Amino acid sequence: MKKLLVIIALLPMVAFAATAGITESAPIDPSDKASLQRGARTFVNNCLNCHSANYMRYNRLVDIGLTEKEIKENLLFAGKKIGDTMTVAMSPKDAKKWFGVAPPDLTVETRARGVDWLYAYMRGFYKDESTSTGWNNIVFDKVAMPHVLYQLQGEQVLNHEMHALELVKPGKLNPEEYSAFVADLTNYMAFMAEPAKAERKSLGIWVLLFLGVLLVLAQKVKAAYWKDIK
């Protein structure tokens, strides 16, 4: 009984630790193809240098409104083909040597963490000279990843008393612009994690409608079959 009471008492602390730094929902729209295309460009130019996306093929980008020609001209690295998966040249061994841990595959990371976590994470970097990279993150303490977008966001510091981030050196984008930039990236990564999600939902609606019609017909057949039987 005492152990149960201790667990119940610790639940609020666990919940706080799990959501620390996550203050709002990711403002994404899976139907906004312009946002998805901007996010794809950001992902290829900034994330795909270190992170792989082994379960995503370049040709799936046609689902967000890009043509194969646009993909080849703007998003493919030299030597890549339109049907290839989004892999990186850096080996896991080298990645572990340079960063201390191999960067995770981002096709599964978004599904594991959730879009709200990812949106907060990409906005949660702050300067921390105690780490090997000089950066830390409010939702991922002692993260090994450096802040690759710091030139856009600027430099933040952590106010330990308020447990909040403060911008001390502006970047190329103001906070609202950077949040929109990260929202596009999050939107694309949510699509990349499950490209068939929208199609599956649409198909699911038609299946439910079919089953509803089938139910009505089945009831009518049953009523006609049993009407003379008492």
CA atoms of 32 and 180, how far apart (whole Å): 13
Q: Which of 74-78, 99-103, 172-176 has the lowest mean pLDDT?
A: 99-103
Whole-angstrom distance, CA of residue 28 vs CA of residue 186? 7
Average pLDDT for residues 66-79, to the nearest whole number? 89
Q: Helix axis angle, 33-42 relative to 175-193, nearest 10°?
A: 90
**Can you give the C-alpha Rg of the chain in angstroms?**
24
Whole-number average pLDDT of the chain: 85
Query: Across the strands, what pairs with 169?
Result: 155
Give CA–CA dist 107/104, Å, rounded: 9
Phi, psi of 86 (to 5 degrees): -85, 80
pLDDT digits (tens, 9 = 90+) for 149-180: 999 999 999 998 888 999 999 999 999 999 99
Of residues 147 and 195, which shows the higher confidence score?
147
Residue 197 in this model has a pLDDT that exceeds 50: yes
C-alpha 32/C-alpha 30 separation (Å) is 6
Is residue 203 over pLDDT 50? yes
